[in-house]
Amino acid sequence: MKILISRIFFKLTGWTTKGGVPPEIRKCVLVAAPHTSNWDFFYCMCALYLMKVNVKFLAKKSLFNFPLGLIMYPTGGIPVDRTKNTNMVETMVKMFAERDDFVLMIPAEGTRGKVKEWKSGFYHTAVQSGVPIMMGYLDYKFKVAGIENVFYPSGDFEADLPKIKAYYKGIHAKHPELASV
């Protein structure tokens, strides 16, 4: 049913998908960027259903209260309490260790608003888990939702981050003035 609804929605809105997670990659961190709108969630989930990617994602804990919790949990949401200083990287690394197949989507910006720097948790999670990073995007100008470019982090965040961000240079956010690439 989710695939049918997604197919109809993309057909009516003119959106398409591109790429996906290669079948030989059973575990990865899926970077979601740029993230500038609440619409990103809906388009992203539709695209993931169409690409048959079973994803888990992090979101602020308050989104899991009733009634949104009825959507967040079944779509793969993992609540994060941002008021507490928890070691999220350690928690995510443990999640990878406990599963044979695991795609974890993390918005590198950490929020829909403009930020000066990307969060580093997605990167450190991938390095410590020994998994690649996949680039996920929504290009609102061309109406394309994609997952491409397998990136194997070197362990040097300062050297790798510009390479990761460079991938997103031509991607058009819903609200470009809020994009942090």
Each residue's pLDDT tens digit, 18-77: 999 999 999 999 999 888 888 998 999 999 999 999 999 988 889 899 998 899 899 999
Residue type, 104: L
pTM of this structure: 0.89
Each residue's pLDDT tens digit, 115-160: 567 888 999 999 999 999 999 999 999 999 999 989 999 999 999 9
Domains of the chain as residue ranges with CATH: 2-178 (3.40.50)
Q: Alpha-carbon distance 39 to 139, whole Å?
A: 12
